[in-house]
């Protein structure tokens, strides 16, 4: 009987840990958003700043975070979404020296979408 209780407690602990990790991924850390489901509004590119508002095709997602890298005068931006509805849409604002930038590309883990070209 004691072994059965320990087994049940161990299974419950695993379920709680896995559920907590999934919840953190969906609600806090986010996942890289598929570029085919992202639109862009208010795009502004200057030599010092890049600004745009991502628009998601699904109403429950908002932008959680973004990352970018620049290679060969092309900026690649990855947008992560979190599953929280109704909190508005944040903006992407990146400051730096972009005088030689030729292109801005949204990317996910497999696809790319050009959103600006000089």
What is the DSSP track for the chain? -HHHHHHHHHHHHHHHHHHHHHHHIIIII-EEPPGGGEEEEEEEE-SSEEEEEEEESSTTEEEEEEEEEEETTEEEEEEEEEE--SS----EEEES--TT--EEEEE-SS-EEEEEE-
Q: Write out pLDDT tens, residues 44-86.
A: 999 999 999 888 877 667 777 789 999 999 999 998 877 665 4
How far is 63 from 61, CA to CA, in rounded Å? 7
Q: What percent of the chain has pLDDT over 90?
A: 40
Q: What contacts 39, CB < 8 A, 6 or more positions away?
A: 54, 55, 56, 57
Say if 26 falls within a structural domain: no
Using DSSP bridges, classify how beta strands 49-56 and 38-45 pair: parallel, antiparallel or unpaired.
Answer: antiparallel
Domain range for residue 58?
A: 31-117
pLDDT at 69: 95
The count of structural domains within the chain is 1
Say if 70 falls within a structural domain: yes
Say if 7 falls within a structural domain: no
Task: Name the least confident of 23-27, 29-33, 37-41, 107-111.
Answer: 23-27
- Is the Cα dihedral 36, 108, 62, 94 positive or negative? negative
Say if 54 falls within a structural domain: yes
Top-confidence residue, 75 or 22: 75
Say if 94 falls within a structural domain: yes
Say if 15 falls within a structural domain: no
Say if 9 falls within a structural domain: no
Q: Which two tokens stand for residue 86?
A: 């109704």
Say if 24 falls within a structural domain: no
């Amino acid at each position: 009987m004691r072994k059965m209780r320990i087994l049940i407690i161990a299974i419950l602990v695993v379920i709680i840990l896995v559920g907590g990790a999934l919840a953190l991924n969906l609600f806090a850390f986010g996942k890289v958003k598929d570029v085919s489901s992202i639109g862009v509004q208010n795009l502004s590119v200057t030599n010092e700043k890049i600004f745009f508002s991502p628009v998601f095709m699904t109403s429950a997602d908002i932008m959680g975070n973004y990352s970018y890298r620049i290679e060969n005068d092309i900026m690649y931006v990855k947008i992560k979404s979190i599953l929280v509805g109704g909190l508005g849409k944040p903006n992407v604002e990146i400051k730096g020296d972009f005088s030689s930038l030729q292109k801005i590309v949204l990317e996910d883990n497999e696809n790319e979408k050009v959103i600006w070209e000089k």
